[in-house]
Amino acid sequence: MTGKLNKDIISVSTLLKKSNLAIPNYQRPYKWTQANLADLLGDLKIYRGKLAYRLGSIVFHQHSEKKQETLDIVDGQQRTLTLVLLVKALLDERLNTNDFNAQIKRQDVKTLLLSLEQPINNFLQRQTFNSDISHRNLHQNFMAAKRAVARSDFTEAGGRY
């Protein structure tokens, strides 16, 4: 075996900006529920003021398909998709809104979210979810994420992204 094992610590924004990120068809359905989303949001709130928060390991399989490098998520699909839903919810509810009170005020957070908008949209367009379970849970968690980020106590204070 000539493959090299890489282990890096990267930010969520770096992960989500990877243009070759994919969820392979052999992956199990997206089974995270609103309870899992609430747990993740709770953890993020607890660690908001910390310099870093480790979300856990994500395992990739890098391969070439039709002369294009693909980075398949082998482990960490549930967390990654949930993070995608959270960012998409932030974009919809707090950035692309005419409601001044709901808008994000910090320029660094705005800039970061804007830099993620196209990669997130591209990622979602490339994915195929063949399971009704995945469709249902993705929809329910996206709606729950939108409600969570629309709350007045959901702030942009602290943290590195």
pLDDT tens track for 58-117: 999 988 877 889 999 999 999 999 999 999 999 988 777 666 566 777 888 888 889 999
Establish if 155 belongs to a structural domain: no
Query: Residue 135 — φ and ψ, nearest 5°?
Result: -60, -45
pLDDT of residue 101: 61
Count of domains forming the chain = 1
**Helices of type H across the chain:** 12-16, 34-46, 77-90, 107-126, 132-150
- The Cα 126–Cα 132 span in angstroms is 18
Establish if 37 belongs to a structural domain: yes
Q: Are strands 68-75 and 59-65 parallel, antiparallel or unpaired?
A: antiparallel
Establish if 5 belongs to a structural domain: no
Establish if 3 belongs to a structural domain: no
Half-sphere exposure of 150 (CA within 13 A, CB side): 13
Domain that holds residue 70: 16-150
pLDDT tens track for 5-46: 778 888 889 999 999 999 998 899 999 999 999 999 998 888
Q: What is the pTM of this model?
A: 0.86
